[in-house]
Structure 1
Amino acid sequence: MPAESPYPSIDIPNVGIWDLLFERKDRSFPDSQVIFQDASSSRSYTYGQVKQVATDFGKGLKGLWDWQRGDVLGVYSPNCIDTPAVTWAVHFAGGIVSPANPGYTVEELAFQLKDSGAKALITQVPQLKIALEAAKIAGIPDDRVILMGDQRAEAGRFKHFSSIRNTSGTQRYRRAKVDPDKDLAFLVYSSGTTGKPKGVMLSHRNIVANVLQMHHNETNISEKDSLLAFLPFFHIYGLTCIMHFAFYKGSRCVVMPKFDIEEWCRIVQDEKITFAYVVPPVVLLLSKHPAVDKYDLSSLRMMSSGAAPLTREIVEAAHKRTNLKVKQGYGLSETSPATHMQQWDDWQRHIGAVGQMLPNQTAKFMSPEETEVPVGEVGELWIKGPNIFKGYLNNPEGTANALTDDDYFKTGDVGYLDKEGNFYITDRVKELIKYKGFQVPPAELEGLLASNDKIDDVAVMGIYKEEIASEVPLAYVVPKKGVEASPQLEKEIMEWLAKKVASHKRLRGGVKFTDEIPKSASGKILRRMLKARYLEEEAKKGAKAKL
């Protein structure tokens, strides 16, 4: 029998995101509550200001561009305190937001803009050059590229969103009505093993449900808390768990554009941060980085780690050094994302578990033959609930492979359930590499590397680096005949690929040369054989080092 959530079912109202955030009757904090605060300037937004700016910009979109229900705005920016108001303005106008990684190359951004059908793009001045080139490829005219953030473009050539929200004659526009279950709120892109990212279709109901599911679990967080937002808002983890959830809770959210461990520690100390959503590499840094000792982090009541597995050793090392507590959670882009979370008082009892299932969900672990396995046995996790996505955009085959006829989502992650209802995730069925929470599809890198005229064949896999607590991509390469395998060639290949992909997709695991890539009769790369070979080689190196 599928496992049920141990929590009682909660009521999920049939409303859109705007209604949940701005029309609620149970809000316990005032309009003047500061919610989003820039970490490096004096800029901030109160709850009331976010609502007003979102309303004004939403009306501006309708007036300037005749924004229609279902139109898509691409967002290509690092974390910015303007992002929440811009996001909810698009929802005011009935549109869909498609956030993109600000580290994307022109080609990567152009693919997302084209695939999502983006009507316009918002960015910041440092990202403007790539944004314009990608927009041109995607057929978005320059006057549909707008700015947010503190910087302005030269001679006012590109509109700042604040000028659009002040467009005259827009006051007559009313907020668009949405069908919460059918209308999309977000198109977030999740890389697939086929190489091309997949547009994950998340409805208003998906996000509304997940915010309320989290709210039911995170009862310790309130408007009195201060959260540190360094996880990117373009990633579903930061988008839902920080941006939406902090706003719903009324918690002050200090926004960092990018992560730096010393700056992170300084902000925790100076701003008296009480709660932080983190990823395993950050916990590892807290256990090892010398700068940590210079700061007082005692205001932190709890951290919650997600995006990748966190080992017992790292949790205990960080706690021993800093006395900080770290609990775990689990989720995916396709689940909006949070499906499991540990309780605050449970972080030490079940280190390694991702917690219990949040309300209104059922789950089961399935064998490769798609039969349910008993409690304690390992299988692929399938989940069902109101937070499960609507499917992959323009990808009926991918959708059919991911969602069952009875609405279960096949996560591709392997794990088990213990007798107390705690879930453990131990591995992945999918071949995706997870670098610090970002997904790296091997097939995409293989396709690029295969186009190099010095490479005959190639296979990419993930290897775990303890020093950064993350997987990194490593390439096994068969050089062209007549091309000598050498350290110089390795460096050349790594640098060549680095110019073609976002930073998180670089070959941080290096290049190993081989005579052939093992493949099945159907031509599929046998990565498990390469993985075994790699581990054997590393074991031999370790044995030699001890001699």
Structure 2
Amino acid sequence: MVKLLTKMTEPRILRSNIPVVDVPERSVGEYIWNKLSQLNEKSICLINAESNEQLTIGALKHRCQAVATALLAHGIARTDRLAFYGQNTIPHVVLRLATKLLGLPVCPLSPTFEAYEVDQECQSMGVTVAVCSASHLHKFSRLLQSDYKHNIRLVVVFDGHHDSHVTYDQLLVEGGDRALTKVPHFPVNPDVDPVILIHTSGSTGRPKCVMLKHKSILALLSERGHFLDPGTGTDHVIGAPYPMGHISGTSIIPLQLCLGARLVIYPDFDVELLFRSIERYKINFLPTFPSFGRKLVEGDLCDKYDLSSLRIVNTGGSPLAASISLAIIDKYGVGFREDNNSKSWNS
């Protein structure tokens, strides 16, 4: 019995058969910048499905640098923490990436939050800079009227104009053609410094802030798309319905950009807009929600639009009925794969 117990307690290491990728970068901002710099600057990387606004790799890099330098001119410091609230738009993505180039932590706020939740989350995370869309600025009213308001050193409004607060368009003008002298601008210790601060839902206890360090996110980014699809790259057009206020949108969108994929984003998610965008932009990779699976095989929309460009559909986060999975396989003639609570259909 003693021998058996000894054998059972011996350490076991389980390794994937995917080759380990060495990541020389020591910060997420440095990683993102290096990857973007290797891509074709003329390639379109972001598309707004509602407005058809499009951005190239070159323009994305230029805007990120302009915004980052302008934020420094407004007094952004190494101790700052930036909270983000708003729709998935190109300015939102630029502001997120600029924050990473500076080496500062991002604090995503769920789109379900109202003023009370925004107030409580920002105070608990020690937020000093609020970044939000113009249409959601009222969600910060409680915070900006509380005793904590003196800790908020800057408010940045995107997707709109404001008389009192700094706007995204203003930052672009102020930054002009300036660029950071180094990336990240502020020193980063990957083993200690957080790159994302996000609250859990509380399903395993009281809601609490999770600090994701640079080292952890670099490990995710180093997979180079393996958890999405080993072949993800410049030939992929990806629909991105995940809100940037959730961990999926926060972590996956930068990864997809680094892989050189063309990303279609949705400011206000609408099922028909998603179907229409699949047909319009020939989306071939669709990460989506389990509840969306039924819409791919039932209702009028799945036959109203041409979805034949889809090669990969991926879901995760909750179970998907086997009957729906089989119906998707039958309707679209794709293969089926499931692992780690994530399902994907591959043509």
- TM (norm. structure 2) is 0.86
2:177 pairs with 1:164: no
SS of residue paired to 1:305:
strand
C-alpha distance in structure 1 between counterparts of 2:272 and 2:334, whole Å: 16
User: Which of 68, 72, 86 matches 1:77?
Assistant: 86
Superposed, 1:167-206 pairs within 5 Å as 167=174, 171=178, 174=181, 175-193=185-203, 196-206=206-216
**How large is the Cα RMSD of the aligned pairs?**
2.7
Superposed, 1:187-336 pairs within 5 Å as 187-193=197-203, 196-217=206-227, 218-241=229-252, 243-323=253-333, 327-328=337-338, 330=340
Task: Select the structure with the greater relative contact order (CA < 8 A; seq sep ≥ 6).
Answer: 2
- Deviation (angstroms), 1:133: 2.5
2:101 pairs with 1:113: no
Aligned residues of 1:230 and 1:258 also touching (Cα < 8 A): no
User: Which of 20, 26, 38 matches 2:48?
Assistant: 38
Change in CA separation of 1:6 and 1:252 when aligned onto 2, cut-off 3 Å: same
Which residue is 1:462 aligned to? none
Change in CA separation of 1:266 and 1:193 when aligned onto 2, cut-off 3 Å: closer
Superposed, 1:307-456 pairs within 5 Å as 307-323=317-333, 327-328=337-338, 330=340, 344=346
- Write out per-residue CA displacement over residues 277-311 of structure 1, whole angstroms, 9 at most, x where no aligned residue: 11110112212222211111000111111122223
Q: Which amino acid aligns with 1:161?
A: Y
C-alpha distance in structure 1 between counterparts of 2:265 and 2:196, whole Å: 21
- Write out per-residue CA displacement over residues 468-507 of structure 1, whole angstroms, 9 at most, x where no aligned residue: xxxxxxxxxxxxxxxxxxxxxxxxxxxxxxxxxxxxxxxx
Which residue is 1:15 aligned to? 26
Which residue is 1:63 aligned to? 73
- Deviation (angstroms), 1:42: 3.4
Q: Which amino acid aligns with 2:95?
A: V
Structure 1 gaps of 5+ residues are 332-339, 346-547
- TM (norm. structure 1) is 0.56
SS of residue paired to 1:62:
helix
SS of residue paired to 2:77:
coil
SS of residue paired to 1:98:
strand
C-alpha distance in structure 2 between counterparts of 1:168 and 1:53, whole Å: 8
Aligned residues of 1:72 and 1:117 also touching (Cα < 8 A): yes
C-alpha distance in structure 1 between counterparts of 2:176 and 2:231, whole Å: 45
Aligned residues of 2:313 and 2:344 also touching (Cα < 8 A): no
C-alpha distance in structure 2 between counterparts of 1:328 and 1:126, whole Å: 39
Aligned residues of 1:310 and 1:328 also touching (Cα < 8 A): no
C-alpha distance in structure 2 between counterparts of 1:287 and 1:303, whole Å: 13
- Deviation (angstroms), 1:122: 1.0
- Deviation (angstroms), 1:321: 3.4
Q: Which amino acid aligns with 2:300?
A: P
- Write out per-residue CA displacement over residues 205-232 of structure 1, whole angstroms, 9 at most, x where no aligned residue: 2222102215245222211211111111
- Deviation (angstroms), 1:123: 0.9
- Deviation (angstroms), 1:328: 4.2
C-alpha distance in structure 1 between counterparts of 2:282 and 2:239, whole Å: 10
Which residue is 2:8 aligned to? none
Structure 2 gaps of 5+ residues are 1-11
Aligned residues of 2:46 and 2:264 also touching (Cα < 8 A): yes
Q: Which amino acid aligns with 1:159?
A: V
- Deviation (angstroms), 1:322: 4.1
Aligned residues of 2:237 and 2:262 also touching (Cα < 8 A): yes
Which residue is 1:91 aligned to? 100
SS of residue paired to 1:3:
coil
SS of residue paired to 1:227:
strand
Aligned residues: 331
Aligned residues of 1:122 and 1:146 also touching (Cα < 8 A): yes
SS of residue paired to 1:197:
coil
Q: Which amino acid aligns with 1:236?
A: I
C-alpha distance in structure 2 between counterparts of 1:77 and 1:236, whole Å: 14
C-alpha distance in structure 1 between counterparts of 2:232 and 2:135, whole Å: 35
Aligned residues of 2:195 and 2:212 also touching (Cα < 8 A): yes
- Deviation (angstroms), 1:329: 5.2
Q: Which amino acid aligns with 1:162?
A: D
Change in CA separation of 1:320 and 1:170 when aligned onto 2, cut-off 3 Å: closer
Change in CA separation of 1:200 and 1:223 when aligned onto 2, cut-off 3 Å: same
Change in CA separation of 1:169 and 1:309 when aligned onto 2, cut-off 3 Å: closer
- Write out per-residue CA displacement over residues 31-51 of structure 1, whole angstroms, 9 at most, x where no aligned residue: 121111111113222112222
- Deviation (angstroms), 1:143: 7.0
- Write out per-residue CA displacement over residues 413-443 of structure 1, whole angstroms, 9 at most, x where no aligned residue: xxxxxxxxxxxxxxxxxxxxxxxxxxxxxxx
C-alpha distance in structure 1 between counterparts of 2:161 and 2:334, whole Å: 40
- Write out per-residue CA displacement over residues 49-88 of structure 1, whole angstroms, 9 at most, x where no aligned residue: 22221212111222212x2224211001121122221112
Change in CA separation of 1:196 and 1:60 when aligned onto 2, cut-off 3 Å: farther
C-alpha distance in structure 2 between counterparts of 1:208 and 1:92, whole Å: 14
Q: Which amino acid aligns with 2:166?
A: K
